[in-house]
Copies of this chain bind each other. A is one copy, B any other.
Amino acid sequence: METWVERHEVFSGPIFTVYTGQARLDDGQTARRDMVAHRGGVGIVALHEERVLLVRQFRLAGGAAFEEIPAGLRELGEDAAACAARELAEELGYAAGRLLPLATYRTSPGFTDEVTAIFLALDLTPTTANPDWDERLHPVELPLAELPDALAAGRFEDGKTLVGLYATLAWLARGGR
């Protein structure tokens, strides 16, 4: 177990805040620790007519475009499932008849408290897409039958996309539908 002896904020922005300080370890020694406190978000694996609905999006932090499951940041106090339904509508223009929790995980617990909750969206019906003004999203559809080969070939580079797609295949293999 580690506890902060002292920490102070060194940066705060709309998405994350950065802290640095000293932590006490199990044996009483102290060590420097830096961390990023993050708002957290959701990802949605959307299945529609035997296809997975993805978005291609340029990521400045990654310096490239990535194929990702639809995703977004949680608003303050927003329930994860409500956030997933909102992002599915905004980014892809669908409403889900069923929204099942697939995985809730830490993206990189060595330096950030960011938690991502992933949902499986089924029984989709069209609404109207309405991305945030500074998002540039390009829809991509992948036949579900091609998903195992696409994963094995290393097509997806985004963590939440890998976790969500692998968890979906495991859920289907266990008889989910």
Q: Tell me the dominant secondary structure on chain A's binding face.
A: mixed
Q: Is the CB of A61 within 8 A of B134?
A: no
Q: Is the interface on chain A under 10, 10 to 19, 20 to 34, or 35 or more residues? A: 35 or more
Contact mask for chain A residues 136-177; partner B; CB cutoff 8 A; 1 contact, 0 none: 100000000000100110101111101100110111001000
Distance in angstroms from A126 CB to nearest chain B CB is 25
Distance in angstroms from A149 CB to nearest chain B CB is 9
Distance in angstroms from A63 CB to nearest chain B CB is 7
A86 at the A/B interface (Cβ < 8 Å)? Answer: no
CB-CB < 8 A to A108: which residues of B?
Answer: 38, 107-108, 112, 114, 116, 159-160
Per CB-CB distance, the 8 closest pairs between chain A and chain B, nearest first, are A166-B166, A62-B109, A31-B134, A13-B34, A59-B109, A107-B108, A35-B61, A2-B60
